[in-house]
Amino acid sequence: MGTRNSRISGFYQLSPNERLEVVRSFDGLNDEDLRQLHGGNGALTVERADKMIENVIGTFNLPLGIATNFLINGRDVLIPMVVEEPSIVAGASYAAKLVRDGGGFQASSTPPLMIGQVQLVHVADPHRARHDILAQREAILALANRQSSSLVALGGGARDVEVRFFETSPMGPMLVVHLIIDCRDAMGANAINTMAEAVAPLLEEISGGKAYLRILSNLSDRRLARARAIVPAKSLARDGLSGEEVVEGILWAYAFAAVDPYRATTHNKGVLNGIDPVLIATGNDWRAVEAGAHAYAARNGQYTSLTHWERDAQGNLVGTLEMPLAVGVVGGATKVHPAAQAALKLLGVTHAHELAEICVCAGLASNLAAMRALATEGIQRGHMSLHARQIAMAAGAQGAEVDTIAARMVQERRIKLAHAEALLAELRAQNAGTAAAHALATTM
């Protein structure tokens, strides 16, 4: 057992192998877990991938980084993030460091209740059908629960029946029956769909209508995760700005997202910057969470910020995030992708709600990082400094050339592909000249 302190200064200045050793000392990961996280030959094999999706011809690698500094409900956590975009992992780590000064994140979640929908059309008497369906609630739940005995044995399963009536639609009226299902540690899509399909014939019989769609809803607004963070104003003081000034700027940034959907969309993209990478690292369905997040952001009729920020009586910055987070630690790809298993082990989670709580903290952190940068120096300095390395690689730089070209572009404040190409040509010409001079010297 290692130290389990996620507050690691200068982690980013280490090499990938040195970072892996830090992760090893963090907690009881064995060599096999580390091999899976490191990728290479230990990563997903083509044979395994061929059983996961269709028409496989290979696998596609993405970088796996570790967000440091997270303290969640008093527990130190290192968060694996799989993502292609620079500065997300750095930003999350930076924000987690700030939140740590205020005691770390507080997170909670609701029970893992999901919704399965059955659409009933051509119902002659919808009000009577609604009444009859609700009267047969127990029979419907019993039929649903016969589809997943293990879910029921684990304390989950179908819990309730609700009926909604849409008087008009482009095709006419319809009844929609909701099955409320406790999915325990699974995301639950397959379990829900199985139950919805199983009860549909009974619902047809009771209502006299025809069942068309039988599918879960990704607006999983009964399965919420919540995070709260406090940042002492003084921790935000920087580059000649007082902490109070930075808090003020961040609150104006939040206010912009609160009222304007054009800004809220980008703001929420910044929230999901922290969440999607954890979902990918743990083999979860990020499209499902994305869909639920955006629908939840529009639940009151206007699309708005998923986060809420305010100043407390002491002048500290206080942020909260509440959103649907349907994730699993069993089912889907979570148990199939070897790196996902190692990522879950690193996170130290055994239940879905624990993973959801970590995701929501990473989302709140990413939002804070982006807003702090936007409200002070602007996004480009921090983001583009890190993006410079990708631009250097896109220009063809290799090995040590990448850092040399990136550093020159950052120093000259010209982070452009054409400039990277020019710098690379210049560097290679210099190196060729040096090599030629060296060869001449050694032959003389």
Ligand X SMILES: CC(C)(COP(=O)([O-])OP(=O)([O-])OC[C@H]1O[C@@H](n2cnc3c(N)ncnc32)[C@H](O)[C@@H]1OP(=O)([O-])[O-])[C@@H](O)C(=O)NCCC(=O)NCCSC(=O)C[C@@](C)(O)CC(=O)[O-]
Is residue 93 a contact residue for ligand X (CB under 6 A)? yes
Measured distance CA(11)–CA(70) in Å, rounded: 13
Q: What residues are paired with 160 via a beta bridge?
A: 180
Residue 68 binds which entry of ligand NDP, ligand X, none, CB below 5-8 Å type-dependent:
ligand X
- Convert residues 274-313 into a mask of x (bound to ligand NDP by CB under 6 A) and - (unbound): -----------x--x-------------------------
> 50, 85, 162, 248: which is the annotated catalytic residue?
85
> Contacts with ligand NDP in 93-152 (CB under 6 A)?
148, 150-151
Residue 114 interacts with which of ligand X, ligand NDP, none, CB < 5 to 8 Å by class: none
Joined together, the tokens standing for residue 121 give 């059309």
Contact predicate 218/326, CB 8 Å: yes
CB 303, min distance to ligand X, A: 14
By CB under 6 A, is residue 370 in contact with ligand X? yes
The answer to whether 127 is a known catalytic residue is: no
Closest contact distance (angstroms) between CB of 316 and ligand X is: 19
Sheet holding 174-182, edge to edge: 157-166, 174-182, 113-121, 210-216
**330 binds, options ligand NDP, ligand X, none, Cβ within 5 to 8 A by partner type:** ligand NDP
Work out whether 184 is an interface residue with ligand NDP (CB under 6 A): yes
Q: How far apart are the first and last CA of the chain?
A: 60
Active site residue 285: yes
1: tokens are 């057992």
Instruction: Give the span between the Cα atoms of 264 and 296, in whole angstroms.
Output: 12
- Here's the x/- map for ligand NDP, 322-361, by CB under 6 A: it reads as ------x-xxxx----------------------------
Query: Binds 105, which of ligand X, ligand NDP, none (CB < 5 to 8 A, cut-off by type)?
Result: none
Q: Which does 184 bind (CB under 5 to 8 A by kind): ligand NDP, ligand X, none?
A: ligand NDP
Q: For residue 114, list its beta bridge partners.
A: 181
Let me know if 396 is exposed, middle or buried by CB neighbors in 10 A (0-12, 13-18, 19+).
middle
Residue 51 annotated as catalytic: no
- E-state strands within 18-112: 64-72, 75-82, 106-109
| C-alpha atoms less than 13 angstroms from C-alpha of 128 in its C-beta half-sphere | 7
Which of 80, 102, 270, 363 contacts ligand X by CB under 6 A? 270
Q: Which of 35, 130, 222, 383 binds ligand X (CB under 6 A)?
A: 383
SS3 content of the chain, % helix, strand, coil (to 5): 50, 20, 30
Residue 294 known to be catalytic:
no
Active-site residue, from 122, 162, 269, 421: 269
CA quadruple 344, 307, 239, 232: dihedral sign: negative
Catalytic residue (one of 33, 76, 285, 357)? 285
Give me the least distance between CB of 90 and ligand X, in Å please: 3
DSSP letter at 230 equals E
Q: Which does 383 bind (CB under 5 to 8 A by kind): ligand X, ligand NDP, none?
A: ligand X
For helices 31-38 and 338-347, the axis angle rounded to 10 degrees is 120
Query: What Cα–Cα distance (Å) separates residue 394 from each residue in 52, 383, 398, 407, 426?
Result: 31, 17, 10, 15, 16
Give the one entry of ligand NDP, ligand X, none that residue 288 binds, where binding means its C-beta sits below a cut-off of 5 to 8 angstroms depending on kind. ligand NDP
Q: Are 423 and 394 in contact (CB under 8 A)?
A: no
Q: Which residues bind ligand X (CB under 6 A)?
A: 9-12, 68-69, 85, 87-91, 93-94, 97, 266-267, 269-270, 273, 369-371, 373-374, 379, 382-383, 386
Catalytic residues: 85, 269, 285, 383
Q: Which residues bind ligand NDP (CB under 6 A)?
A: 148, 150-151, 154, 183-191, 193, 216, 218, 285, 288, 328, 330-333
